[in-house]
Amino acid sequence: MDKELEGKVSLVTGASRGLGKAIALKLASMGSKVAVNYVASDDQANKVAKEIEALGSETMLLKANVADSGAVKAMVREVVDKWGKIDILVNNAGITRDNLLLRMSDEAWDDVINTHLRGAYLCTKFALRYMTAQSWGRIINISSLAGMMGNAGQANYSAAKAGLIAFTKSIAREVGYLNVTVNAIAPGFIVTDMTDKLPQETRDMILSRIPLKRFGQPEDVAELVAFLVSEKASYITAQAIAIDGGVI
């Protein structure tokens, strides 16, 4: 098994399930120590921790709301206190509060913007202090196809995910000279709890737009993260890379 990330320290937000879990496990399989952030399910987070340990890697669980500045500052400090540094940050934490704009509440707008965009801002700001000090870092922001194309009923989610792409490009230009790369990944339709709940008619309609005729797997996204945090991708920064089966 490739241990390219041996000695590295990673923090993955929203890592108790779905994409975050797959990313955390992939980084652990490559030898990285992995801090697992989550906000709700202790049981799911503990299962992820056990899987990481079964891969022979170290882990720690960090229950924190990424939209809370004090909580994020304490979370990053806890990682550094335990492992001495932070090399890789994956801003994956996210929620949906879907509705048509005319029916959308202020709370639904604010909750989604705060989790996705403010969360990435806070985690990146506090982690960057350590990455820039050591002149090495990798930041991956999980955006979405919705952030590139928009999606009816998801004005809040689409705006947040589009904001992540512009955020990615801006921060990449600020810290590139310090050997810190910042990239975004925009997944299309990936097999998660969210897609599992879709009616069959909706699934068929979506599949008709995907040339590869299947939904992606969380592991597909994790493999792209693995590449972008590796030395193979050391000259790639400020990019938003779609992983969507060629959706049209």
Active site residues: 157
Q: Give CA–CA dist 178/132, Å, rounded.
A: 6
Q: Give CA–CA dist 91/12, Å, rounded.
A: 6
Sequence-distant (6+) residues with CB within 8 A of 157 are 94, 96, 97, 98, 112, 116, 144, 146, 151
Provide DSSP, 74-106: HHHHHHHHHHS---EEEE-------B-GGG--H
Helix 106-113 vs helix 155-175: angle between axes, to the nearest 10 degrees? 30
Pairing assessment for the beta strands 88-91 and 59-63 based on DSSP bridges: unpaired
Q: Give CA–CA dist 145/186, Å, rounded.
A: 5
Q: Which helix (H) or strand (E) holds 201?
A: helix 200-207
Q: Give CA–CA dist 26/52, Å, rounded.
A: 9
Instruction: Return the closest-CA partner of residue 93 out of 73, 109, 78, 72.
Output: 72
Sequence-distant (6+) residues with CB within 8 A of 55 are 25, 28, 29
